[in-house]
Amino acid sequence: MITHLKNVIADSKMEKVIIVGGVAGGASAAARLRRLREDLEITVLERGPFVSFANCGLPYYVGQVIKEEERLKLMTPEKFLDRFNINIKIDHEVKSIDRINKNITVESLKDGDMIQLDYDYLILSPGASPIVPPFTGMNDVPVFILRNIPDSNKIIHHIESNNVKHATVIGGGFIGLEMAENLRHRGIKVKVTEMLDQVMASLDKEIAQFVHQELLLNGVCLQLEDPVDSFEVSSEGFNYVITKSGGRIKTDMIILAIGVKPENQLAEEAGLDIGPKGHIIVDEQMRTSDPSIFAVGDAIQIKNFVTKKPTGVPLAGPANKQGRIVADVIAGRNSRYNGVLGASVVKVFDLTVSSVGLNEKELSKTELKYEKIYVHPNNHAGYYPGAVPITLKLIFETPNGKILGAQAVGGSGTDKRIDVISTVMKFDGTVFDLEELELTYAPPYGSAKDPVNMAGFVASNVLKGDMPIWHWNELAKIQSNNSIILDVRTADEYEIGTIEGAINISDLELRNRLNEIPQNKNIYLFCEVGFRAYLSTRFLIQKGYQVKNLTGGYKLYKTAKATTEEIAAECGASEEVIEEFIEKKRKITEDYIEIDASGLACPGPLNALIKSLEILPENKKLKIYATDPGFKASVEAYAKLNEAVKLLSLGKEEGKLVAILEKGITTHEEIEAPVKPEKKTRKQIRAIGAPTLSNITASELYERMDSAEAPAILIDVRTPQEYHGRTGHVKNSKLMPLGELMNNVDALEQYKDEEIVVICHSGSRSAMAAQLLVRAGFKDVRNLTGGMIIWHRSGYPVENGGVKSTNY
């Protein structure tokens, strides 16, 4: 039944504005319109049960960081009516637009009634809906999308009523990663599968690699370059995500977050102009091809501020601003939307990930000529406790220096640096403007030369020719050139790891060893972050050399180079991957269960072996193949440590290591009990010749800390600020910053044959320290996996303050 509502309206002479969609863009437009014009009748129609809710907070509600649903509801229809005299109809879906008669047909979703409403102005803010391809098996498995409060409640209900232990997130974009983090908060194992070779398509790959590291460090497994193909339920009732590579991910639930598409059906059916990617086309005043109809938010096509080409950007900031502009325009003001920069930020565990403008992938599709630099300054003065680095990539047009884009990952304040750059971009600023910016400074907040200034200084140096640069992905070109790669870090740093083919002369020695550098070669310099190599570049240029500095230094180079296989290998140790592997690579013959663990990096094959032994039937032997050479030592050690397991043979077949094992079952109890590795003391493990360098988990360290089995010494190689700062340190750990350790290994001489544990923030500096100690002849060096991040995350206690000296 269609009721014509014309007479329901109190004052039919009033101009009528109808808004479709009552969240970001729609609610903003409604509220501002009322502030500008009391004489309008404003009605908002919202399909869902809530108006103006915080969709950006939904992942945190799922993770129970935001505990109450009520906190997501920013406004109610009652408040809109009381405060703004705006009539909000929730659970009302607009079905069609009659542009000739200027009315819309609306369905009340509660009772199915159809109504018609007249409009003078219509504002469309219907948003974008999650892309849901018709995957085979979709209806058989628990798949969820996340767009609104009811969606999040469905996810929470499934988690709580099904004791969910494992979730697969499909898509490594903003929502996918926020969901991954929040599911981890709930103690759920998470795997993110992604079609591309990186997460966060808004970033370039080398910056996304820092995000990969953070995810892996927080126990999120990554499966890159492997699109989802279908879903399946096994005969035992387990859910599987099947990937194009043939991978099978056993999982308890699936979050589908592969992107959004504009909700354009209403507009399309009404004959409004639609862009090539389905967005509603609007002018700078948000007017569609019908002058009485406006559109805002995720559904529209807008101008990219940098390229001036049409684009669609589904972000809350632009939607809200466009809502204000349309209100201005209807109120007779001349406001315009000048284009979108795409400034965005996302929290990925302890990493802030932020970007603005164009990335290189986008730039490569334009005619623009550009250059890029990387810097890694601290977020605030290094001497004030708690400073953490920000890796900042700045992309600028050549030769004029106009800023085209920026990407940053790091600690607190990362987003604000991108905000500053975004502001400069809005005024068509250049890298020279960044040099000059006067930004606030006090030690807890920044530096006298802010990271934004630093990026400006470096970029300006490049443009002025003061510092020619080379890039992390240009090595092959350089190696085939008449060139020398020169590592100007210290000999110790060089020893720990360097670029293939590099020679080492530290920046401090350069003046005295100049005769070792031939004048007729191109010199490609690098140091850890770019600063020492910059000083060396300036020195060598003045001595007449052709020199280039690796922008972003070895830190960027090392991180950027990790391959998809290496990332997968890091995941390889996790239990669920091993289970998948065993299932996929298992062959059952009359005598054997055969597992092919080829391709798994250590400790993957050993984990596969242990898991397989646990489920090995009593009448079969286990035959396991591996290609990692480390498998030989580990399988021998494992068999020695486990009396219940017999290593029957260990050899090679067709170039692969192959071990045959059986369970040495002697009693009935043992037949019943799965074979578990027997717990040995550290001393016993050492006795059979374990490697000199190994990892120690936070749980092992914590369990042994106050026991007779405690490691001989714990060395924290962070800075004094970090050690004494907010994050605190592990009880009884001694502070010995990495630089100090490098120069003073002898101070630890008495521990040469003892178990030493090295600790840092994330596990990477301590890995360097551990290698250094092993090279210096230490026999049992152990790196705390995941450093203080995992220690904290595991909830183990820390101490603040404490021992300041490093006398041992």
Binding site for ligand FAD (CB under 6 A): 20-21, 23-26, 45-48, 55-56, 58-59, 93-94, 125-127, 146-147, 175, 263, 266, 297-299, 314-317, 319
What's the closest the beta carbon of residue 179 comes to ligand FAD, in angstroms? 8
Residue at token pair 């060096």: 781
Cis upstream peptide for 603 (omega within 30°): yes
- In the complex with ligand FAD, the residue whose CB is nearer, 58 or 717, is 58
Assess whether 602 carries a catalytic annotation: no
- In the complex with ligand FAD, the residue whose CB is nearer, 95 or 365, is 95
Query: Rounded to an integer, what distance in angstroms lies between the CA atom of residue 176 and that of residue 224?
Result: 13
Query: Strand 114-118 vs strand 92-98: parallel, antiparallel, or unpaired?
Result: unpaired
- In the complex with ligand FAD, the residue whose CB is nearer, 57 or 630, is 57
What's the closest the beta carbon of residue 299 comes to ligand FAD, in angstroms? 6
Quick one: which of 334, 336, 278 has its CA closest to 310?
Answer: 278
Identify the helix (H) or strand (E) that includes residue 361. Answer: helix 360-363
Query: Rounded to an integer, what distance in angstroms lies between the CA atom of residue 434 and that of residue 457?
Result: 8
Query: Strand 503-504 vs strand 522-526: parallel, antiparallel, or unpaired?
Result: unpaired
Query: Rounded to an integer, what distance in angstroms lies between the CA atom of residue 419 and that of residue 590?
Result: 66
What's the closest the beta carbon of residue 94 comes to ligand FAD, in angstroms? 4
The neighbour count for residue 625, using CB atoms within 10 Å, is 21
- In the complex with ligand FAD, the residue whose CB is nearer, 182 or 430, is 182
What's the closest the beta carbon of residue 114 comes to ligand FAD, in angstroms? 13
Contact 541, 513 (CB under 8 A): no
Sign of CA dihedral 762, 768, 770, 773: negative
Identify the helix (H) or strand (E) that includes residue 783. Answer: strand 780-784
What's the closest the beta carbon of residue 169 comes to ligand FAD, in angstroms? 12
Beta bridge partners of 261: 129
What strands, in cross-sheet order, belong to the sheet with 483-487? 469-470, 546-550, 522-526, 483-487, 503-504
What's the closest the beta carbon of residue 55 comes to ligand FAD, in angstroms? 4
What's the closest the beta carbon of residue 269 comes to ligand FAD, in angstroms? 11
| E strands present in 35-158 | 40-45, 87-89, 92-98, 103-108, 114-118, 121-124, 128-130, 143-144
What's the closest the beta carbon of residue 264 comes to ligand FAD, in angstroms? 10
What's the closest the beta carbon of residue 108 comes to ligand FAD, in angstroms? 11
What's the closest the beta carbon of residue 224 comes to ligand FAD, in angstroms? 22
What's the closest the beta carbon of residue 770 comes to ligand FAD, in angstroms? 38
Query: Rounded to an integer, what distance in angstroms lies between the CA atom of residue 658 and that of residue 153?
Result: 50
- In the complex with ligand FAD, the residue whose CB is nearer, 278 or 314, is 314
- In the complex with ligand FAD, the residue whose CB is nearer, 24 or 523, is 24
Sequence-ordered list of residues with C-beta below 8 angstroms from that of 315, at least 6 positions apart, any chain: 340, 342, 344
What strands, in cross-sheet order, belong to the sheet with 280-281? 280-281, 300-303, 310-311
What's the closest the beta carbon of residue 320 comes to ligand FAD, in angstroms? 8
CA 202 to chain centre: 11
- In the complex with ligand FAD, the residue whose CB is nearer, 264 or 506, is 264
Phi/psi of residue 434, nearest 5 degrees: -60, -35
- In the complex with ligand FAD, the residue whose CB is nearer, 299 or 452, is 299
Cα angle value 338/342/345 (rounded, 5°): 140
Catalytic residue among 56, 527, 602, 760: 56
What strands, in cross-sheet order, belong to the sheet with 166-170? 143-144, 253-256, 166-170, 189-193, 220-223
- In the complex with ligand FAD, the residue whose CB is nearer, 123 or 675, is 123
- In the complex with ligand FAD, the residue whose CB is nearer, 30 or 568, is 30
Query: Rounded to an integer, what distance in angstroms lies between the CA atom of residue 710 and that of residue 702?
Result: 9
Q: Please count the CA atoms within 13 angstroms of the CA of 396 that sit on its side-chain side.
A: 31
Contact 594, 539 (CB under 8 A): no
Query: Rounded to an integer, what distance in angstroms lies between the CA atom of residue 11 and that of residue 110?
Result: 27
Helix (H, G, I), strand (E, B) or coil at 182: helix
What does the block give as tokens for 675?
């074979």
Q: Looking at beta carbons, which residue is closest to ligand FAD?
A: 297
Sequence-ordered list of residues with C-beta below 8 angstroms from that of 513, at least 6 positions apart, any chain: 505
- In the complex with ligand FAD, the residue whose CB is nearer, 148 or 559, is 148
Per DSSP, the residues of 681-711 read -HHHHHHTT--SEEEE-HHHHHHHTTSTT--
Per DSSP, the residues of 439-494 read ----TTT--SS-HHHHHHHHHHHHHTTSS-EE-TT-HHHHHTSSEEEEE-S-HHHH
- In the complex with ligand FAD, the residue whose CB is nearer, 263 or 328, is 263
What's the closest the beta carbon of residue 629 comes to ligand FAD, in angstroms? 46
What does the block give as tokens for 558?
């090392």
- CA distances to 484, 486, 497, 525, 526 from 504, rounded to whole Å, are 10, 6, 11, 10, 10
Query: Rounded to an integer, what distance in angstroms lies between the CA atom of residue 627 and that of residue 643?
Result: 26
Query: Rounded to an integer, what distance in angstroms lies between the CA atom of residue 785 and that of residue 769?
Result: 13
- In the complex with ligand FAD, the residue whose CB is nearer, 46 or 662, is 46
Query: Rounded to an integer, what distance in angstroms lies between the CA atom of residue 96 and that of residue 517?
Result: 76
Which residue numbers are catalytic? 56
